[in-house]
Amino acid sequence: MAAKTVDEYIEGLEGWKRDVTAGVRGIVTNAAPEATESVKWAQAVYEVNGPFCYIKAFKNSVNFGFWRGVDINDPKGLLLGTGEKMRHVKLEGMEDIDEETFAAYVKQAVQLNLEKGDPTKG
């Protein structure tokens, strides 16, 4: 059965993936308290004026991604991807969480959505 809430999504994960997902969720909710969270497209999705980031667990990693990732200032070069807009950070354990950098990404992503609108609408 698919998770209906982000709590259920996290509870359905095992071991370090649960810890990493919960840790990143905490960063997102602290950096963007106005955001709504839901499970869409089989992942945790955070929205302010449209979706701005997601957390998705895979077999060997957790992706923390951004709809407007190409527009995010990334001085450490952590964001991966080759698409036109989206980028993600691949997390393989708690040691990969960079709280300060990730909070900055979240704040930038929210601001981009406020300035440019919903990234899924064009």
Extended beta strands in 28-119, E state: 36-40, 43-47, 51-57, 62-66, 87-91
Cβ-contact 78, 101 below 8 angstroms: yes
Which class in CATH covers the domain with range 6-115?
alpha beta
- Is residue 97's pLDDT more than 80? yes
Averaged pLDDT for residues 32-55: 97
Domain residue ranges in the chain: 6-115
For residue 1, pLDDT beyond 80 = no
Is-above-0.85 flag for pTM? yes
pLDDT digits (tens, 9 = 90+) for 62-87: 999 999 999 999 999 999 999 999 99
Amino acid at 72: I
**Opening angle at CA 33, ends 28 and 37, nearest 5:** 65
